[in-house]
Amino acid sequence: MTDSETPTWDQLLELITRLDEGGLTEATVRLGDLTVQLSKGAPLSARQATPSNVSADSGTTTSTPSEADVAAQERPVAAPRDPDDAPAGTPVPSPILGVFYRASSPGGDPFVTEGDQVDADRTIGIIEVMKMMNPVTAGVSGRILSFAVADGEAVQFGQPLAYVDETQ
């Protein structure tokens, strides 16, 4: 990839995997005009997560974040659960990081509720990433036991979103 190319999601996921396997807790990587900041465990501080002006030598600048960007950065991220406290059932992990919603629109009916029977391909929620809505499917057939995160909560990759009883 040259400096002028924008990385693909697959390339960014590969970068995250490599950094995770390397044992780093925080890293900032510049790919052309894109800067990626990663933090394992604690969220980046507001100073680190806020874009700053680039030097005049590069000829490019970034703008200050909008109110929506700042609000998204301040949204609390769910704390990881202790495995001993996890409910019974098969976890439905988050396929990506973002904000989890149980309904397609604010105030709308949820895709599923606790006690609903689901097939593996049934949508149980959506995750918003960069203004794009990504469906989350159950991945297994069974009955929804519980949701591990609240509607509108920021979630991490692999974090359990819900638990399914596959025996039912």
The residue type of 18 is R
User: What average pLDDT does range 104-122 have in this prediction?
Assistant: 93
| Rounded CA separation 83/27 (Å) | 27
Name the pTM for this structure.
0.52
| Residue 69 scores a pLDDT above 50 | no
| Residue 141 scores a pLDDT above 90 | yes
The three-state secondary structure class of 72 is helix
**Backbone phi, psi, residue 103, to 5°:** -130, 160
**Backbone phi, psi, residue 17, to 5°:** -60, -45
Q: Within a 13 Å sphere around the CA of 49, how many CA atoms are in the beta-carbon half? A: 15
| Residue 121 scores a pLDDT above 70 | yes
| Rounded CA separation 11/103 (Å) | 30
pLDDT at 28: 73
Residue that wins the pLDDT comparison between 11 and 50? 11
| Residue 118 scores a pLDDT above 80 | yes
pLDDT at 85: 60
Percent of the chain predicted with pLDDT > 70: 61
| Residue 70 scores a pLDDT above 90 | no
Give me the chain's average pLDDT, please. 74
Whether 161 contacts 136, CB under 8 Å: yes
pLDDT at 94: 94
